[in-house]
Amino acid sequence: MSRARSALPLALAAAVAWASLALGGCDDPAKNAPRAPATPVAPAPSAEAPAPSAKAPASLTVQTDDWSIKRPAPSRVVAIGDLHGDIERTKRVLRLAGAVDANINWSGGALVVVQTGDQVDRGDGDREIIDLIERLRREARAAGGDFIATLGNHELMNAQLDFRYVTKGAALSFDEFAAEAPDGAKGLLGMRGRAGAFAPGHAYAKKLAEQPLLAWVGDSVFVHGGILPKHLGIGLHNMDRETREWLRGERPEAPRAVMAEDGPVWTRLYSAAPGPRECKMLESVLDALGAKRMVVGHTVQAGGITEACGGKVRRIDCGLSAFYGGPIQALEIQGDDVKVLKE
């Protein structure tokens, strides 16, 4: 039996604990620091992560394939942080961005919206959010714009059947998929439908596979946690491709470099309280990419969107969901003009 399969009951046990005790949590560094995933994964050869370095390298090389995930800068980009299952506040921030009309149909024309992950968990409306994003992506592209939602740690946790932050309402909304639950989840009280939807290769995991690990738009890089120097050595394209293959059920395990504590969806080096060392690492990554800024979510910013490292990192998890009760805000980028939109 593989290590991943033998560990599966641990993920299920975590979900059962949620169902019986209604455990909560929050994505702040002190209470919910990055941790190993509920289902351990073995390394994929092309995504084996080297040991973290205490210093940023003098120079970094971007792999040739990585340039394939870059798209030209549109005239206007709006970035939106963590949504966490709050469909009503999601609609409000989309209206604030000028992306949708009163009926929540795309009205942004050539606008590009980038949402930096954690669409799911902590709220009842995460299925509606995923479905809405999928629809708006189609409508935006038909109008000459785009809606890019990147993967966050909570999307990948659900694909690992780690449901510790799923609300009862969100679990019930997937009941129709109960018959599709993998064998190891058949006895999972209250979560069989969610397991049937989010297990790799299943309906909602495939929807998540349409979402990239990061978005590189013009001179801005958008990612849930952060891109570290070591990730450039592994290859951004490699990590993105292998993560999507796993979600589609084409790989038996998630790439280790993505799921590690310092992976792109887990690291808080830039989103918490970066000091000189972290800012130097960030600068080395941006220099290698030829980018001006990194836009990250993952860590709730008290009072709203913030910046650090002289504006080289913009931290857009403003806690806009009802779970956190933060403000409705988004980040607008028009060339070199970067500003916070406020409701």
Active-site residues, by number, are 154
Q: What whole-number distance in Å separates Cα of residue 255 and Cα of residue 241?
A: 10
Q: What residue type is assigned to position 53 of the chain?
A: S
Q: How many CA atoms lie within 13 A of 142 on its CB side?
A: 9
Are 69 and 237 spatial neighbours (Cβ–Cβ below 8 Å)? yes
Q: Is the dihedral of CA 196, 202, 204, 209 positive or negative?
A: positive
SS3 label, residue 296: strand
Q: What whole-number distance in Å separates Cα of residue 178 and Cα of residue 187?
A: 10
Q: What whole-number distance in Å separates Cα of residue 223 and Cα of residue 110?
A: 22
Residue-wise over 136-168: b if at least 16 C-beta within 10 A, else e?
A: bbebbeeeebbbbbbbbbbbbbbbbbbbbbbbe
